[in-house]
Amino acid sequence: MSAPNVRIAFRLFHLTLGLGLMVSTLPTILHALHEHGGVNLHLSMVIGLQALGVALFLIPRTLRVGGLLLLIWLLGGFAVHVSRGEWEVQLVIYAAGVWFVMAHGAEWGGRSQGADTTARPL
């Protein structure tokens, strides 16, 4: 596959992952409001951190900070679900995608924010 096609595919993956994670907050918000009979402060804070992480993840300059927030949220959520006997493996798959994008950096907004591949003396 040629380099331009790889860049387009990576941009599409990054955007789809970020927007998909943002949209996934909607059922959580609805669950929090209906299941708990009103605003649940803890769940609202968790959802807010997720939304902040996604927003930062989609901005090239803040991709790594947002990605770190998302990794904490996704892997923490997975751990909570496992402790309840629920295997929400999609959270680990999303975390792998976030880690992949963080490792390679943003492909839009100018210079790539990916890993520095220049050789440095020890």
Specify if 118 maps to a domain: no
Specify if 98 maps to a domain: yes
50: containing domain: 3-104
> Residues 68, 74, 75, 80: is their CA dihedral positive or negative?
positive
Task: Tell me how many degrees the CA angle 54-60-65 measures, rounded to the nearest 5.
Answer: 55
pLDDT tens profile 3-39: 888 888 999 999 999 999 999 887 877 776 676 666 6
pLDDT at 115 over 60: no
End-to-end CA distance of the chain: 35
Specify if 122 maps to a domain: no
Specify if 117 maps to a domain: no
pLDDT at 51 over 50: yes
Specify if 78 maps to a domain: yes
Specify if 110 maps to a domain: no
Specify if 33 maps to a domain: yes
What is d(CA 107, CA 91) in angstroms, rounded to the nearest whole number? 24
Report the share of the chain in percent with pLDDT over 70.
Answer: 79
Q: If pLDDT is split at 50, 70 and 90, which confidence band does 43 have?
A: confident
What contacts 53, CB < 8 A, 6 or more positions away? 66, 67, 68, 69, 70, 72, 73
| Number of domains observed in the structure of the chain | 1
Specify if 84 maps to a domain: yes
